[in-house]
Every structure is written in structure tokens, then in C-alpha cells.
């Protein structure tokens, strides 16, 4: 749970970094010749973490408004 603007900014950075990592990982896996199902199996946990962080940001933004 985000409790301050400093935590909000830090989490925003983590969300952006997670987004970049997901895209980079997808590219690497495609280049390695993995199937769509194999890529999904690898990427889903990363997306879950990313979506959790994004939810925290949105909740903080709602409370702050």
C-alpha cells in the first residue's frame, strides 16, 4: 500500500521498469523461438506483479483526489 507521495513516485518508477522488462523479455523469448504459449507462461507472473503495482498506483490516485 502506498502511503506517501515519495512511495508513489518510487512505485511509478517500478511500474515503468516492469513494463520495459516485460517487453524486453517478450522480445528475447520470441527471438529464442519460443511458442506463444511458452512466452505466455513466462510472462504471466511478470504481468501479474506489474498489474498489482499499477493497481496500487490507481488506488493511491483515487484516495489522493
The pLDDT value recorded for residue 18 is: 95
Between CA 31 and CA 7 the distance in angstroms is 36
The count of structural domains within the chain is 1
- 34: cell is 519460443
Q: Is the pLDDT of residue 65 over 90?
A: no
Q: Which pTM value belongs to this model?
A: 0.83
Average pLDDT over residues 4-8: 96
* 21: confidence class by pLDDT, cuts 50, 70, 90: very high
- A 10 A CB-CB count for 60 gives 19
Q: What is the extent of the structural domain holding 33?
A: 5-64
The pLDDT value recorded for residue 47 is: 96
Q: Is the pLDDT of residue 23 over 90?
A: yes
* 7: confidence class by pLDDT, cuts 50, 70, 90: very high
Amino acid at each position: 500500500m502506498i502511503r506517501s507521495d515519495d512511495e508513489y513516485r518510487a512505485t511509478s518508477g517500478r511500474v515503468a521498469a516492469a513494463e520495459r522488462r516485460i517487453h524486453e523479455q517478450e522480445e528475447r523469448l520470441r527471438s529464442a523461438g519460443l511458442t506463444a504459449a511458452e512466452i505466455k507462461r513466462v510472462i504471466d507472473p511478470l504481468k501479474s506483479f506489474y498489474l498489482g503495482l499499477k493497481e496500487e498506483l490507481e488506488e493511491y490516485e483515487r484516495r489522493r483526489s
